[in-house]
Amino acid sequence: MENLIDVNDAMVRLGGNKKLYVALLKKFNGEAMLEDLINKLKNGDSAAAAAQAHTIKGLAANLSLKDLKLKAESIELKIKGGEKNIDTSEIEQSLNQTVGAVNEWIEQNK
């Protein structure tokens, strides 16, 4: 779980406020954001896809979701580099693992 969520980093950022962190994690809707990214890629809208990848990267960074941030950053760079037919399987897997880890952490920290 440590490679997915850096709780210590989040606690520093949020002044140790676990309740706030739980609330922010519960609002995180990565599935919808990723679906939007994939649709933009499929539609060939590189600018919008890059912006969506950047948004996912920033939100993941703010929530200390380390692996998801790295995968979103990688996709953003590929899009901006002009790469076509970007494989999204790694970010999809990262999101699924991250959501599982987030749900587990929330359950343990009620």
With pLDDT > 90 as the criterion, what percentage of the chain qualifies? 94
Q: What distances in angstroms separate CA 101 from CA 36, 55, 66, 87, 96, one per listed residue?
A: 22, 21, 12, 23, 9
Rounded Cα distance, 82 and 1, in Å:
33
The pair phi, psi for residue 82, each rounded to 5°, is 85, 5
Give the model confidence (pLDDT) of 92-106 as tens digits: 999 999 999 999 999
Strands (E), 1-110: none
The fraction of the chain above a pLDDT of 70, given in percent, is 98
Give the whole-angstrom CA distance, residue 99 versus residue 42.
24
User: CA 61 to CA 4: how far, in whole Å?
Assistant: 11
Nearest-CA neighbor of 4 among 89, 69, 93, 67? 67
Asked if residue 1 has pLDDT above 70, the reply is no
Note the pLDDT tens digit of each residue in 6-34: 999 999 999 999 999 999 999 999 999 99
69 pLDDT higher than 90: yes
